Amino acid sequence: MNKGAGLTIGVIAVAVAAGSGYWLGGRGGASHGDAAQVASAPAEPSKKEKKLLFYRNPMGLPDTSPVPKKDPMGMDYIAVYEGEQDDEPASANQIKISTEKVQKLGVRTEAAQLRVLDKVVRAAGRIEPDERRIYAISPKFEGYVERLHVNVTGQSVGKGQPLFEVYSPELVSAQREYAIAAQGVESLKDAGGQARDGMKQLADSSLLRLKNWDISEEQVKALAKSGEARRTLTFRSPVSGIVTEKKALQGMRFMPGEALYQVADLSAVWVVADVFEQDIGQVRTGAKAKVRINAYPDKIFEGTISYVYPTLNAQTRTVPVRIELANPGLLLKPSMFAQVELPVGTKGQVVTVPTSAVIDSGARQIVLIQQGEGRFEPREIKLGARSDNHVEVLEGVRDGEQVVVAANFLIDAESNLKAAVGGFGHAAHGAAPKEGQAAAPGQPGAKGASHQAEGTVDGVDAAAGTISLNHGPVASLKWPAMTMEFKAANASLLQGMKPGAKVAVEFVERQPGEWVITAVKPHAGH
């Protein structure tokens, strides 16, 4: 190979090397740039799993466990995750729950507000005839039923319609006496003196006797005109209505005052409603009432409250209330069952909360007031009148305050509200507890607070999980020295416990009157 050819090959080799270096450098730069770009790009967020911290006692006792377990009552311990440990509440009477738990529980609040409580008292009732429209037909003399014109109970009759005819020897005799006296007066009309006056007095006396026996004016005039006594007398209905009772039988004998027929005018009836004792104080006479009858579900009858009876049925604790009701078409039958709605008087606008907001323990009523995000204050209230959906608050809540209306019982369970509320009293409003009154949470004597005592074991009942302890004074509860029985929070606390052992214990009040030992250790001086 000559010198020129070698030089050419060398130049090509250098060029190739330089190109390769430039290409490799460019690739290296690009790779570095890509890496930098990847490094500078934000990492895709990954869902962070919550860290399990421990398991807490479901009854709020100061007892935790690193692993799942059950308490002596068989309840599972509750898992506590990182971030779920609530901070201390802003005040001793507030309860704080994490926002996440509030959302999970479905907590819903509503503002207390002024409104007029439109309350309607509902009561069961029955249709009864108007007692002022019931008539009895009773002859005032002795006689016999000669003929019946109305022979069926329940028959409709008109005013003046013949009901029955009677024969009475006394009646015939009285008619003849009057006829003779009337004729005597007529014959002596031209005469003067005592004879005419005496005959006139006899005629007037006979006429009065017939009228007292309910002889109609028409029959009396016919008797005076003809002078002939009729053998029978016709009794007519005094009112238009329904024959509700018929005792008369063809040919029967009756005595003076015996009720042979009873006719009721049902164009207006009574509804007698049985109102419960707690509602009767709000019912007023003169108010309108609505009546529904099962036989006519599409109709509403309206009447007026006319009377509130002064008696109480001791068995049902109800007071009868009378409602007067028109009865067009005689649709309402006596003894029909009625559903009555009675309006009650109101006293204008009052502060109210939904009925679902009230936690009623029987001894007191409490609502949860939302004080901030996840913060709730249990507050004792005094209730007044109620409607279907709202209740009046006399004390404890102001207009506009947010009260929990949904999941309040779940907040109770979740936050061990019983411990906060069990000793809750005037301390909720910032007052110091009175002597004999439970202290607020965090104060000595509060339910759920821990107390210490030292004493001697009198006995151990492993089956019942109880310890009988002869302990000294307990300052936090103002207890003197005494012997009493405690429950053990778990069976492990009973191990090694023997009568005569001197111990120091910690205990809490799990329920009213139920004291539970949560920790035991030998007495320091033992």
Domains of the chain: 49-85 (no CATH), 99-117+348-429 (2.40.420.20), 139-258 (no CATH), 268-343 (2.40.30.170), 451-522 (2.40.50.320)
Q: What is the pLDDT of the chain when averaged over all its residues?
A: 77
Please, are residues 521 and 496 in contact by the beta-carbon 8 Å criterion? no
Mean per-residue pLDDT, 443-449: 51
Give the CA distances from residue 362 to residues 18, 69, 208, 253, in Å, rounded to whole numbers and listed in that order: 96, 33, 72, 67
- Please, what is the end-to-end C-alpha distance for the chain in angstroms? 112
User: Quick one: pLDDT band at residue 373, thresholds 50, 70, 90?
Assistant: confident
Q: Number of helices and strands (H, E) in the chain?
A: 7, 31
Mapped onto helix, strand or coil, the DSSP state of residue 199 is: helix
Beta bridge partners of 489: none
For 477-502, the pLDDT digits (tens) are 878 888 888 988 888 888 878 888 88
Residue 426: DSSP 8-state: G
E strands of 358-513, at which residues? Answer: 359-360, 365-372, 375-386, 390-395, 402-406, 451-461, 466-471, 482-488, 502-511
Looking at per-residue confidence, does 526 or 95 come out higher? 95
Looking at per-residue confidence, does 165 or 16 come out higher? 165
Q: Which of 115, 114, 118, 113 is nearest to 345 (CA)?
A: 118
Greatest mean pLDDT among 191-200, 353-362, 433-442: 353-362
Q: Is the confidence at residue 294, as pLDDT, over 80?
A: yes
Mean per-residue pLDDT, 101-112: 82
The pLDDT value recorded for residue 192 is 67
- Rounded-to-integer distance, Cα 300 and Cα 316, Å: 27
Q: Is the confidence at residue 390, as pLDDT, over 80?
A: yes
E strands of 214-312, at which residues? Answer: 232-236, 241-246, 253-254, 261-264, 268-276, 288-293, 296-308
Q: Which of 328, 380, 329 is nearest to 359 (CA)?
A: 380
Q: Is the confidence at residue 187, as pLDDT, over 60?
A: yes
Looking at per-residue confidence, does 512 or 11 come out higher? 512
Q: Which of 260, 36, 240 is nearest to 144 (CA)?
A: 260
Amino acid (1-letter code) at residue 494: L
| Structure token digits, residue 327 | 């009865």
Please, are residues 454 and 501 in contact by the beta-carbon 8 Å criterion? no
Q: Is the confidence at residue 443, as pLDDT, over 80?
A: no
| Structure token digits, residue 176 | 């003849």
Please, are residues 282 and 230 in contact by the beta-carbon 8 Å criterion? no
Least confident of 118-122, 185-189, 409-413, 431-435: 431-435
